[in-house]
Structure 1
Amino acid sequence: MADISIKQKHKLSQKKAKDAAQQVADQMAEEYEMTSDWDGDVLYFRRSGVSGSLTLGEQVAHLEISLGFLLKAFAPTIEEKVTSKMKKVFSAKA
């Protein structure tokens, strides 16, 4: 079961939503040494202590994050930051 689950509505085309998600994944890879790969419309990501998926639907992006023991204490802070980032990424014009 995920420690963090966020659903963000959007009005982007599937391609634009996927492009936006990939840009964020690239930033995360650079900043946090996180790896990611796509399986259809689902982006899976992981690094030590963190794993999860971002599922892109037609009008909603659903992010689920599982945290390792040491990061669970920071779940509220992580969730707040990720929620803010998702709002910015998926509120772009279609």
Structure 2
Amino acid sequence: MADINIVQEHHLAPEQARAAAQQVADKLAEQFELTCRWDGDVLRFERSGVNGALTLLPNQAQLQIALGFPISMMADMVKAKVAEKMQKVFVY
């Protein structure tokens, strides 16, 4: 199992940060067929072999993803793509 942890700083208002988080989740859902749901300020997502959460804090978004085998073999690629998406949507 591989873990991905990404912290992205931002200066967005709470509603803007939530919209940015949803964009990241939508991209992940599209690529990996994930189901997503909000639990307060935490966007949780999962499917067989993948689960994680994107937590919104003031001025920071924290993403944790646990990848099971065989998706863990693509961990570096997944991390790079997700980090790039987070940088774009959490513009500060």
Task: Give yes or no for contact 2:6–2:63 (8 Å, CA) kept in 1.
Answer: yes
Moved over 2 A (4+): 23-33
Instruction: Supply the distance in 1 between the matched residues of 2:12 and 2:88 (Cα, whole angstroms).
Output: 12
Q: How many residues are matched?
A: 92
In the other structure, the counterpart of 1:82 is 82
Q: Mind listing any 5+ residue stretches in structure 2 that lack a counterpart?
A: none
Matches within 5 A, 1:1-94: 3-91=3-91
Deviation at 1:23, TM superposition (A): 2.9
1:43-83 CA distance string (max 9 Å, x none): 00012221100000010000000001111111111111111
Deviation at 1:33, TM superposition (A): 2.2
Q: Mind listing any 5+ residue stretches in structure 1 that lack a counterpart?
A: none
Instruction: Supply the distance in 1 between the matched residues of 2:70 and 2:30 (Cα, whole angstroms).
Output: 22
* RMSD, aligned α-carbons: 1.8
- Higher share in strand: 2
The one-letter amino acid of 1:79's match is: K
Change (3 A) 1:6 1:47: same
Q: TM-score, normalised by structure 1?
A: 0.86
